[in-house]
Amino acid sequence: MTLLKIENLTAFYGASQALFDVNFTINEGEVLALMGRNGMGKTTTISTICRMLKHRDGVLEFAGQDLGKLPSHKAAQLGIGLVPEGRRCFPNLTVEENLIATARPGHWTTKTIGAFFPRLTERRSQMANTLSGGEQQMLAIGRALMTNPRLLILDEATEGLAPVVRQEIWAVIHRLKTETGLAILVVDKTLRELRQVADRAVILEKGSTAWMGSMTDLTTDLTDKYLGV
């Protein structure tokens, strides 16, 4: 079943157009990789899905509901959980407070999050701004899960982290996929890990969908052409 549907999406920052023609869908339980070089519109697309940026034209539906007129908090309440680029935990709240502040009823509670991220349990009374980058990232994921989303969006979740910590985050994403069946939209630059975790991929080029297909169909020619790797 289609969870998120985006068709011919356009969006602007003031007068300058950032998204021209974005198209893709995400099904329940699917992991979709959103790819593209820097400045191609990945984060803008995510901001539009989360209603932090209003789109101008096109279709944007979540679970059959038009997101067009909804404010950001309503989109989140429908079940869109965002792990933002740069983590952005609430710095002067403790780990536990970060989680409790955003909690909504469902499977994910401080207890289940603690079981999923034992490190967060160890650090539960520590201020978020005193955590390491990896721990902050876990907290950002935990905080998004506490909203009990149907779709989890991870924007550059491994950026700026040490290689060992990156592997931990990828392991978490893999566990989320296999153990929870949560739909995940993941934006990242590390192709190798994306290949392991994602079912399908969408490549953005200059604010438009340039390619969409199964991860297994993503050939070296395509990655060379659109991702420059």
Partner 1 sequence: MIKETDLNTAIWLLFLGVPLAAWQMGEIYTITLATKICVLALAGVGLNIALGLGGMVSLGHAAFFGIGGYAMGILASHAQSYAPIMETPFLIEGTKSMPVIWVLAIIMSGIAALAIGALSLRTNGAYFIMITLAFGQMIYFFAISWPAYGGEDGLSIYVRNDFPGLNTLVPIQFFALCFAILTAVIFLSSRLEHSRFGMALQATRQNETRTQAVGLTPYKIRLIAFVISGMICGLAGAVSADLNRFVSPTMLSWHTSGEIMIFVILGGTGRLFAPLVGAAIYIMLEHFLGGVSDYWQIFLGLLLLMVVLFAPGGVIGLLTKREAAHD
Site residues (vs partner 1, CB under 8 A)? 50, 52, 71-73, 76-77, 81-82, 84, 88, 90-93, 97-98, 100-104, 143-144, 146-147
* Distance in Å, CB of 87 to partner 1, minimum: 10
* Distance in Å, CB of 132 to partner 1, minimum: 19
User: Residue 210: which region, alpha, beta or left (left: phi > 0; alpha: psi -120 to 50)?
Assistant: alpha
Angle among Cα 101, 178, 111 to the nearest 5 degrees reads 30
* Distance in Å, CB of 164 to partner 1, minimum: 27
Contact 84, 43 (CB under 8 A): no
Give the residue from 5, 3, 20 showing the smallest Cα distance to 56. Answer: 20
* Distance in Å, CB of 147 to partner 1, minimum: 5
Beta bridge partners of 94: 127
* Distance in Å, CB of 110 to partner 1, minimum: 11
Cβ proximity to partner 1, 103 vs 215, nearer residue: 103
The rounded distance, in Å, linking the Cα atoms of 137 and 25 is 26
Tell me the two tokens of residue 75: 């989109």
Cβ proximity to partner 1, 131 vs 194, nearer residue: 131
Give the residue from 209, 214, 165, 168 showing the smallest Cα distance to 35. Answer: 209
Cβ proximity to partner 1, 185 vs 197, nearer residue: 185
**Residue 219, Cβ neighbours under 10 Å: how many?**
10
Cβ proximity to partner 1, 97 vs 199, nearer residue: 97
Cβ proximity to partner 1, 128 vs 191, nearer residue: 128
